[in-house]
Amino acid sequence: GDSVTQMEGPVTLSEEAFLTINCTYTATGYPSLFWYVQYPGEGLQLLLKATKADDKGSNKGFEATYRKETTSFHLEKGSVQVSDSAVYFCALNNAGGTSYGKLTFGQGTILTVHP
Amino acid sequence: GAGVSQTPSNKVTEKGKYVELRCDPISGHTALYWYRQSLGQGPEFLIYFQGTGAADDSGLPNDRFFAVRPEGSVSTLKIQRTERGDSAVYLCASSLTRAGPGELFFGEGSRLTVL
């Protein structure tokens, strides 16, 4: 079956540091890939997505590129802020048009950014 | 409110009891999803509704779990004869019928603790 593996956390950085959170996946066919974020006390939010190979998703300074050859979708940000402290989840959808919301999630990575 | 609302936010029950968790989706969202998130894990898909019908219930772990959405809006997740292993955060999400992949809006979840 489909699966998503994220780098182990927690990740602790100083403000303005560079962030990478690794994500690799196993799936048949051509899944869509996502990063979700959960800020303290809030529900999960879609951060960015990519629906085909070589697509780059971007939002709020975060980027991730769909790499089919390495089955990866690593999340990056050039300069993190304290407000980026949250839990980040990598996810995929392989159900296609029958169920765009049926997602397989990774285990999540806790990010803490210090001033 | 404009977001997905879930009640109760916290529920503590004893092993063997019956529990109902409620989800009120965003108005106009025809698709509704239930996920379960165990401690330290990512969310796991349980069931998907399109309108009033369950379009995909492949994630329900066993026949103690049941969900309904009788009028195509509010949904209730029902758990019979609860077990300690059912302790988790139960997440609800909704989306528009024509939403793209992964475009879900999540509630804050209902935390269930089975003693």
Tell me, what's the pLDDT at B10? 97
Give percent of chain B above pLDDT 70. Answer: 99
pLDDT of residue A98 exceeding 70: no
Contacts with B93 from chain A: Cβ below 8 Å: 44, 101
Contact A100 B102 (CB under 8 A): yes
pLDDT of residue B2 exceeding 90: no
The answer, for B12 touching chain A at a CB cutoff of 8 Å, is no
Contact A100 B42 (CB under 8 A): no
The answer, for B23 touching chain A at a CB cutoff of 8 Å, is no
pLDDT tier, A97 (very low <50, low <70, confident <90, very high otherwise): low
pLDDT per position as a tens digit, B84-103: 999 999 999 999 877 777 78
Contact present, B103 and B30 (Cβ < 8 Å): no
Q: At a CB cut-off of 8 Å and minimum separation 6, what does A40 contact?
A: A85, A86
Q: How close does chain B come to A17, measured CA to CA in Å?
A: 25
pLDDT per position as a tens digit, A19-56: 999 999 999 888 999 999 999 989 999 999 999 999 99
Tell me, what's the pLDDT at B98? 72
> What is the C-alpha separation between A96 and A106, in angstroms, rounded?
19
pLDDT of residue B1 exceeding 90: no
Contact present, B22 and B7 (Cβ < 8 Å): yes
In which element (H, E) is residue B91 found? strand B88-95
Contacts with B29 from chain A: Cβ below 8 Å: none
Q: List own/partner pairs for B98-103 with CB under 8 A and 24 or more apart.
A: B99/A100, B99/A101, B99/B31, B100/A49, B100/A51, B100/A100, B101/A32, B101/A34, B101/A49, B101/A51, B101/A93, B101/A100, B102/A32, B102/A34, B102/A46, B102/A49, B102/A91, B102/A93, B102/A100, B102/A101, B102/A103, B103/A46, B103/A100, B103/A101
Is B112 strand, coil or helix? strand
> What is the C-alpha separation between A49 and A73, in angstroms, rounded?
10
Kindly state the tokens that stand for A96. 């296609």
pLDDT tier, A7 (very low <50, low <70, confident <90, very high otherwise): confident
pLDDT per position as a tens digit, A65-87: 999 999 999 999 999 999 999 99
pLDDT tier, B78 (very low <50, low <70, confident <90, very high otherwise): very high
What is the per-residue DSSP string for B16-41? T--EEEEEE--TT--EEEEEEE-TTS
How far, rounded to the nearest angstrom, does the alpha carbon of residue A73 sit from its chain's CA centroid? Answer: 7
Is B53 strand, coil or helix? strand
Contacts with B23 from chain A: Cβ below 8 Å: none
Q: How close does chain B come to A13, measured CA to CA in Å?
A: 21
Tell me, what's the pLDDT at B44? 97
pLDDT tier, B38 (very low <50, low <70, confident <90, very high otherwise): very high
The answer, for B25 touching chain A at a CB cutoff of 8 Å, is no
| Minimum Cα–Cα distance from B6: chain A residue | A43
